[in-house]
């Protein structure tokens, strides 16, 4: 299917669709594998593994990955072979390769990644997203890289965008890779971060970071032994580990800047590229702050690239103010603006300064690298992600961050950006409405329904109901009670909303949404966010109290409940609780 | 609909304008708590209480609804298969009493005579600001065959009595319905019993109404 030349482009599209966190196919391939774990427990106990037969190679009928190994008289090789079979017997089927590979190759060639090799000493055939991929390995059998490769495939089930080379291999965690980062020098597309590891699985934090920065940076695991043999990484780069810091708690990451072509495209400045691209830099991280540290480092790097590009674009045109850079400049605090200006990779002066959020991450050679551990770094990361047009729910780790709660300092701004402003509202709209509200409140007549003329409109009605509800909104917090700091703001935001959306008006329940927004952003932003948010998804239908439309949501909920927890759904039905509003059906 | 609810389960729905104290009434009754900073009720909430009346134990399923006019359309969802309705108004607000009248009309029209109605004038602790006179309210309640009580969730006054009267009447009503249904099924004696039932049913509303005026 993808043999020979030109497979890069094809693979890229395939890999993109295979990306397990964003792909169309929701099922994690790993789940499939784990269910089938029980079989074939005895395979490896035999000293002699069965030789692969043509029936085994009919891939359409297979449901487990295949590992084919070449066994000969070499005692060492046999040992390796048995070791690997022992490690993975429960996940994969292991067979030996016949001395004549032609028949095997015939079967797997359509799925082979790279060139077919008649000398292949090992083959790993695995399925991703319904498509089989065969990787051949024609070096001598070395346990570590081979096992690492298989494990990475089985455990993380991300993408098969790497293949085995005699000299070594790089295992990529995210899509779009071109196979040989170390063999051919820095990859063509974008920067790459490699974790030097001796373990078979990447630590959680590394996977998280890779998810956050996907797809703007590539990530990979690389075996240290393999790394040392590679031409393009000098010993100096991986030095920080052994002599100076033998602690097991630290990790070595290699940051590879991409080719000059890419740098030109992005507009990376000469100073940085000369500092980093000549030789991959080793960056050392340690302790519990790893995710944040790596994120900070990467965001600083990305930001620099982006900033340069923006400046270039700004020189051409002043448009694109909706970008996060524009947002920060326009609405951000002085602190943020300063951050943006000063975000730079090498800042020796910080070392002596008071900036406690900055951390020295590398002191090798003439270049000192600092990373920013502050919230602003996190904000940059998330803003970047949003600026790419992604929704907050995209990416597992990112979703986690949103759900667990953003740090308070940055919450409001990020919420506002995530909600967006499709309604194109601005401060003037808000002021227009609150002038009316203040006028009405000043007169005070709206509260007294008895003396009110009939000609007075819905707005007074809304204002009356809003006023009644102010103190009843999160009453335990006192923020919105009569003398609370947000009493007036909440009234005005809600009034402005009901004036902006007369079709919705004010509905009880809105006050809680508005109150939450007000806790983290100024009144005008809260108003803009409220109007935009309540126009989304189910909010509109629910606040319109359109029974038919609500019923549709309930029916959908019922189906989902039935699917996920049929027991609960049955029990609820038994006791007469049904989410659906059965109008006539009940009778 | 009767097969959905258990034998001793009775459903009560609270209706009334916003901020008259529906939630406070229920919370005082079920948990014996009161807060002058009560959250707004969004759509509806549910609480239940088990009580003993004579030899009977019955479970009251109390549905507390949101008072804002906008939620009016959802009313039928809650009162459709209710055994009783507690209509709450604020004694300091005539408009809320007018709203109770609307609810009575709607309930009689949509559910008929089967639902037991009880009207509660809440916030009698604010007697100085009273706008709805007790006699006026009682007169109205009697005319539509409903109980009437004066309550204060803040002081815990009149609430036990309200729910107790409502529960008793609901039990009575259900027993009547059951006997009527079984009578219909049993054939022979049916014509006589049906006539007897009809008269007693027609009169019971007015009778209970006048009885209720004594609080």
**Domains of chain B and CATH, by start:** 9-179 (3.40.50.300)
Determine which of B70, B95, B112 to mutate to test the interface with A (most A C-beta atoms within 10 Å). B70
Nearest by CB: B42 against A475, A508, A576: A508
The pLDDT of residue B103 is: 93
**Residue B71 pLDDT greater than 80, yes or no:** yes
User: Which of A92-96, A436-440, B24-28, B44-48 is modeled with the greatest confidence?
Assistant: B24-28
| Residue A473: per-residue pLDDT | 87
Interface test with chain A among B39, B59, B98, by most A beta carbons within 10 Å: B39
According to the model, what pLDDT value does residue B60 have? 92
Residues sharing a CB contact under 8 Å with residue A344, sequence separation 6 or more, in sequence order: A300, A304
Report, as an integer, the average pLDDT of B112-140: 92
CA distance A59 to chain B (A): 54
Q: What are the structural domain ranges in chain A?
A: 68-154, 204-234+249-313, 375-418, 427-544, 547-586
Backbone φ, ψ for residue A93 (5° rounding): -100, 130
Measured in residues, chain B has a length of 215
CB pairs under 8 A between A and B: 58
Query: Domain A427-544 is of which CATH architecture?
Result: Orthogonal Bundle (1.10)
**H or E, element range at A390:** none
Residues from chain A contacting residue B73 (CB–CB below 8 Å): 545, 547
Q: Is B189 on the interface with A (CB under 8 A)?
A: no
> Which chain B residues contact residue A512 at CB under 8 A?
42
Nearest CA to A176 out of A127, A123, A216 is that of A216
Given a cut of 50, whether residue B53 has pLDDT beyond it is: yes
Asked if B71 lies within 8 A of A508 by C-beta distance, the reply is yes
Listed in sequence order, the residues at least 6 apart from B169 whose beta carbon sits closer than 8 Å to its beta carbon are B84, B116, B118, B147, B208
CB contact, 8 Å: A502 with chain B? no
**Are B5 and A576 within 8 A, CB to CB?**
yes
- Percent of chain B at pLDDT above 90? 49
Whether residue B91 has pLDDT greater than 80: yes
* pTM of the predicted model as reported, rounded to 2 decimal places: 0.51
pLDDT of A35 reads: 34
**Mean pLDDT highest for which of A403-407, B6-10, B97-101?**
B97-101
More confident: B186 or A568 = A568
User: CB atoms < 10 A from the CB of A137, how many?
Assistant: 24
Q: Which two tokens stand for residue A364?
A: 């090798």
Q: Which range (A171-185, B111-125, B197-211) has the least confidence?
A: A171-185
Residue-level pLDDT at B158:
93
By C-alpha distance, the chain A residue nearest B94 is A450
Say which residue, A483 or B192, is predicted with more confidence: A483
- Kindly state the DSSP code that residue B9 receives in the 8-state scheme: E
How confident is chain A (587 residues) per 10-residue block, as mean pLDDT?
33 33 31 35 52 77 79 70 68 79 76 67 70 68 58 44 35 34 41 63 65 63 52 45 42 63 55 45 54 64 62 49 39 46 39 41 42 56 66 55 70 85 87 85 68 61 87 81 84 91 89 90 92 84 81 79 81 73 45
What is each CA distance from A138 to A66, A78, A149, A462, B2, in whole angstroms?
A: 17, 16, 14, 76, 76
pLDDT at A527: 93
Residue B16's pLDDT is what? Answer: 93
Q: Kindly state whether A469 is in contact with chain B, defined as any CB-CB distance less than 8 angstroms.
A: yes
| Residues A66, A104: Cα–Cα separation, whole Å | 12
Cα gap A342→A361, rounded to integer Å: 17
B19 contacts in chain A (CB < 8 Å): 468, 472
**Joined tokens for residue A131:** 């498509």
Tokens of A435: 């002038």
Contacting A residues, span 510-539, partner chain B, CB-CB under 8 Å: 511-512
From B138's Cα to the closest Cα of chain A, the distance in A is 23
What are residue A558's phi and psi, to 5 degrees?
-60, -45
Asked if A341 reaches chain B (Cβ–Cβ under 8 Å), the answer is no
The distance of A437 to chain B (nearest Cα, Å) reads: 20
- Cβ–Cβ contact A573 with B under 8 A: no
Instruction: Quote the tokens at residue B118.
Output: 């009880």
A411 vs chain B: nearest CA distance in angstroms? 25
B109 touches chain A (CB under 8 A): no
Question: Pick from A339, A310, A312: which is nearest to A326 by CA?
Answer: A310
Beta strands in A149-209 (DSSP E): 171-172, 192-197
Of B4, B18, B77, the CB nearest to A581: B77
What residues in A contact B38, CB-CB < 8 Å?
472, 475
pLDDT at A295: 65
Residue B23's closest chain A neighbor by CA?
A: A472
Burial B88-102 (b: 16+ CB within 10 A, else e): bbbbbbbebbebbee
CB contacts of A545 in chain B (<8 Å) are: 70-71, 73-74
Contacts of A465 in chain B (CB under 8 A): 18, 68
Closest CA to A300 of A264, A269, A342: A342
pLDDT score for B45? 86
Helix (H) or strand (E) holding B48: strand B44-53
Angle at A399 between CA A149 and CA A403, to 5 degrees: 140
Tell me which chain A residues have a C-beta less than 8 angstroms from the C-beta of B27: none
Q: Are B122 and B88 in contact (CB under 8 A)?
A: yes
Q: Name the A residues in 35-74 with CB < 8 Å from any B CB.
A: none
């Amino acid at each position: 299917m993808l043999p020979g030349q030109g497979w890069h482009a094809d693979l890229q599209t395939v890999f993109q669709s295979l990306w397990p966190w964003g792909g169309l196919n929701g099922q994690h391939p790993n789940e499939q594998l784990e269910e089938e774990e029980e079989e074939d427990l005895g395979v490896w106990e035999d000293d002699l593994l069965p030789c692969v037969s043509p029936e085994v190679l009919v891939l359409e009928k297979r449901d487990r990955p295949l590992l084919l190994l070449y066994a000969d008289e070499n005692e060492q090789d046999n040992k390796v072979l048995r070791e690997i079979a022992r490690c993975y017997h429960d996940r994969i089927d292991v067979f030996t390769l016949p001395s004549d590979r032609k028949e095997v190759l015939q079967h797997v060639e359509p799925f082979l990644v790279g060139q077919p090799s008649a000398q292949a000493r090992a083959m790993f055939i695995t399925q991703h997203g319904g498509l089989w991929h065969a990787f051949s390995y024609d070096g001598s059998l070395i346990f570590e890289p081979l096992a690492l490769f298989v494990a990475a495939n089985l455990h993380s089930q991300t993408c098969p965008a790497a293949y085995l080379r005699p000299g070594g291999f790089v295992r990529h965690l995210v899509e779009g890779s071109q196979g040989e980062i170390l063999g051919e020098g820095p990859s063509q597309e974008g920067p790459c971060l490699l974790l030097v590891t001796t373990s078979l699985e990447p630590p959680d934090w590394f996977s998280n970071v890779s998810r956050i920065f996907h797809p703007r940076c590539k990530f990979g695991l690389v075996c240290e032994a393999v790394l040392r043999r590679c031409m393009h990484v000098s010993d100096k780069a991986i030095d920080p580990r052994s002599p100076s810091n033998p602690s097991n708690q630290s990790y070595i990451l290699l940051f590879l800047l991409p080719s000059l072509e890419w740098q030109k495209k992005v507009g990376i400045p000469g100073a940085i590229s000369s500092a980093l691209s000549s030789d991959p830099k080793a960056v050392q991280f340690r302790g519990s702050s790893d995710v944040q540290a790596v994120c900070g480092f990467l965001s600083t790097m990305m930001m620099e690239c982006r900033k340069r590009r923006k400046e270039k674009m700004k020189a051409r045109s002043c448009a694109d103010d909706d970008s996060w850079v524009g947002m920060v400049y326009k609405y951000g605090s002085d602190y943020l603006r300063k951050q943006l200006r000063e975000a730079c990779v090498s800042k020796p002066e910080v070392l002596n300064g008071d900036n406690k959020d900055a951390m020295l991450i590398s002191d090798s050679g003439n270049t000192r690298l600092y990373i920013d551990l502050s919230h602003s770094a996190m904000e940059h990361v998330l803003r970047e992600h949003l600026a790419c047009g992604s929704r907050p729910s995209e990416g597992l780790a990112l979703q986690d961050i949103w759900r667990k709660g953003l740090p308070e300092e940055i919450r409001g701004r990020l919420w506002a950006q995530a909600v967006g402003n499709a309604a194109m509202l601005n401060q003037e709209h808000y002021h227009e409405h609150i002038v009316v509200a203040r006028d009405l409140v000043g007169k005070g007549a709206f509260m007294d329904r008895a003396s009110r003329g009939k000609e007075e409109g819905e707005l007074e009605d809304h204002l009356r109901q809003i006023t009644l509800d102010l103190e009843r909104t999160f009453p335990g917090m006192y923020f919105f009670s009569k003398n609370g700091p947000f009493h007036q703001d909440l009234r005005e935001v809600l009034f402005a909303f009901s004036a902006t959306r007369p079709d919705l008006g004010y509905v009880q329940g809105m006050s809680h949404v508005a109150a939450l927004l007000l806790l983290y952003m100024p009144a005008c932003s809260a108003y803009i966010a409220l109007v935009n948010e309540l126009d989304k998804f189910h909010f509109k239908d629910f606040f319109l109290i359109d029974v038919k439309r609500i019923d549709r949501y309930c029916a959908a909920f019922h189906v989902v409940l039935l699917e996920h927890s049929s027991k609960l759904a049955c029990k609820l039905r038994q006791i007469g609780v049904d989410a659906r509003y059965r109008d006539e059906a009940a009778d | 609909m009767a097969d959905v609810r258990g034998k001793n389960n009775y459903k009560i729905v609270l209706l009334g304008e916003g901020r008259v104290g529906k939630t406070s009434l229920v919370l005082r009754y079920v948990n014996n708590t009161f807060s002058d900073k009560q959250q707004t009720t969004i759509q509806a909430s549910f609480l239940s209480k088990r009580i003993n009346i004579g030899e009977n134990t019955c479970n009251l399923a109390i549905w507390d609804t949101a008072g804002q006019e906008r939620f009016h359309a959802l009313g039928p969802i809650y009162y459709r298969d209710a055994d009783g309705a507690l209509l709450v108004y604020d004694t300091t607000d005539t408009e809320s009493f007018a709203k109770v009248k609307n609810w009575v009309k709607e309930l009689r029209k949509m559910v008929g005579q089967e639902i037991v109605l009880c009207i509660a004038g809440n916030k009698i602790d604010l007697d100085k600001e009273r706008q709805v006179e007790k006699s006026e309210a009682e007169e109205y309640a009697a005319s539509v065959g409903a109980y009437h009580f004066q309550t204060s969730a803040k002081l815990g006054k009149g609430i036990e009595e309200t729910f107790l009267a409502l529960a008793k009447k609901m039990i009575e009503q259900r027993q009547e319905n059951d006997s009527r249904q079984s009578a219909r099924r049993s054939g022979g004696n049916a014509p006589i019993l049906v006539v007897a039932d009809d008269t007693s049913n027609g009169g019971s509303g007015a009778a209970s109404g006048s009885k209720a005026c004594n609080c």
